[in-house]
Amino acid sequence: MDNTAQARIIFAQDRYATEATGIEIAMAGDHTSRCTMAVGECHRNARGVVMGGALFTLADFAAAVAANTDCLEDGTLHWVSLDATIHYLAPALDDSLVAECKALKAGRTTALYQTTIESPDNGKRIAIVETTMIFV
């Protein structure tokens, strides 16, 4: 079974991200991930823009998937977020979003990942999130 299929099975247990928020794993492998989220009215704030918490959840989930690609075979998730910084760049008005995550530094006990959230329709960059992960 490939990394993406394994990640989908394991991370299906993250019910907030997969069920409540509707995030899907499009790709997982070699300390990278791509996750998508169909945007519904429940994701929008009173101004009609995707709420920051929904964007953060998308980025946090993408980072968890990317960081844990090296331990998918044994089914245990060793990497968790230690801290994260989100930079909101533009309002998200689209009906779908894509989060691309990659390792900037993957160490033995800590790692730094960067997630870029964009609109797949026009490529507009919505947010950049830097996440420090720790091996537990």
Render pLDDT for 44-69 as a digit per residue (tens, 0 to 9).
999 999 999 999 999 999 999 999 99
Structure tokens at 63: 């980072």
* Dihedrals phi, psi of 93, to nearest 5 degrees: -110, -5
Residue 131 has pLDDT above 90, yes or no: yes
User: What pLDDT is recorded for position 1?
Assistant: 83
- 3 residue type, one letter: N
Mean pLDDT value across residues 7-29: 97
| Superfamily of segment(s) 3-135 | Hotdog Thioesterase (3.10.129.10)
Confidence tier at 129 by pLDDT (50, 70, 90): very high
| Domain ranges within the chain, ordered by starting residue | 3-135
Mean pLDDT value across residues 61-80: 94
Render pLDDT for 91-115 as a digit per residue (tens, 0 to 9).
999 999 999 999 999 999 999 999 9
**What distance in Å separates the CA atoms of residue 76 and residue 98, rounded to the nearest whole number?**
25
Mean pLDDT value across residues 13-21: 97
Q: Collect all residues with Cβ–Cβ distance below 8 Å to 28 and sequence separation of at least 6.
A: 3, 4, 6, 7, 8, 34, 65, 66, 69, 72
